[in-house]
Amino acid sequence: MIEFKDVSVTYSSTGVDALHDINLKINDGDFVFVVGESGAGKSTLIKLLQKEIDATSGQIDVNGFNLTKMRRGKIPNLRRTIGVVFQDYRLIPTMTVYENVAFVMRCVDAPKKYIKTRVPYVIGLVGLSDKADCLPEQLSGGEQQRVALARALVNDPKLIIADEPTANVDPALTYGIFELLKGINACGTTVIVVTHDLNNVVHFGGRIIRLDKGNITIDQVFGGAEG
Ligand code: ADP
């Protein structure tokens, strides 16, 4: 579960109030879109969840961790519960698809035997079994996005954060990526998608949290065309 209580962020370098008094609860298994114009505070919210930055005031709980009181040494434990899909994929160009995914498991010291079974399984989940030995440069944008998703998924996080997951993908492939995210969510993983593409929201439905100048102005569940 994620809970924000009276959370505000002021960037000391500029004095900008990026978030004001945010109160928010996201239950395990929710599918949430975070929308808002550039500068609304979306990235700030996402950075708080991973403790990349600290709130100026207020309290934050994420996946059983109290971020306000957490010591820096415990941050890796928090981050192990979160999978992030970056807008620019962040794949390692010299590694194959298999190695890119396996690398994330090695980083958390997963047993070798488990890596050998888990990596092909997750690559299969995102539909890339026949591309496992390819380098990122040999893949289309949509396929690279799927590798990024596989990397975010492979350590079985409680929460997946996807930052504009379809920003660099052909519109025709957007649907497939959201189908995958919905499938992951159906298995119980909480999914937070940051997007300004409201077409997906309308099509897939879910909970929408809209930020405007650091305030939540909409927090509502929409049915979506797929129900
Ligand atoms: P969004 O992701 O919705 O575009 P951000 O969370 O990046 O919004 O930014 C919210 C506000 O905080 C903006 O006014 C932005 O200029 C400011 N801001 C973001 N990051 C920093 C930073 N590191 N230092 C100073 N100001 C920042």
Among 9, 11, 34, 53, residue to substitute to test ligand 1 (most atoms within 8 Å of Cβ): 11
Which pLDDT band, with edges at 50, 70 and 90, does 171 fall under?
confident
Ligand 1, residue 47: give the atom nearest the CA. Answer: 6
pLDDT digits (tens, 9 = 90+) for 47-80: 999 999 999 999 999 999 999 999 999 999 999 9
Ligand 1, residue 53: give the atom nearest the CA. Answer: 23
- 3-state SS of the chain is CEEEEEEEEEECCCCEEEEEEEEEEECCCCEEEEECCCCCCHHHHHHHHCCCCCCCEEEEEECCEECCCCCHHHHHHHHCCEEEECCCCCCCCCCCHHHHHHHHHHHCCCCHHHHHHHHHHHHHHCCCHHHCCCCHHHCCHHHHHHHHHHHHHCCCCCEEEEECCCCCCCHHHHHHHHHHHHHHHHCCCEEEEECCCHHHHHHHCEEEEEEECCEEEEEEEECCCCC
Which pLDDT band, with edges at 50, 70 and 90, does 213 fall under?
very high
The total number of structural domains in the chain stands at: 1
Residue 129 lies in a domain: yes
Residue 104 lies in a domain: yes
Question: Residue 32 above 60 pLDDT?
Answer: yes
Domain ranges, residue 152:
91-156
**pLDDT value, residue 138:** 98
Mean pLDDT (the chain, rounded): 92
Residue 11 lies in a domain: no
**pLDDT value, residue 226:** 62
Residue 74 lies in a domain: no
Residue 134 lies in a domain: yes
**pLDDT value, residue 56:** 98
What pTM does this model have? 0.92
pLDDT digits (tens, 9 = 90+) for 115-164: 999 999 999 999 999 999 999 999 998 899 899 999 999 999 999 999 88
Ligand 1, residue 19: give the atom nearest the CA. Answer: 10
Residue 55 lies in a domain: no
Residue 176 lies in a domain: no
The pocket around ligand 1, CB under 6 angstroms, is made up of 11, 13-14, 16, 18, 36, 38-44
Residue 131 lies in a domain: yes
Across residues 88-104, what is the average pLDDT? 95
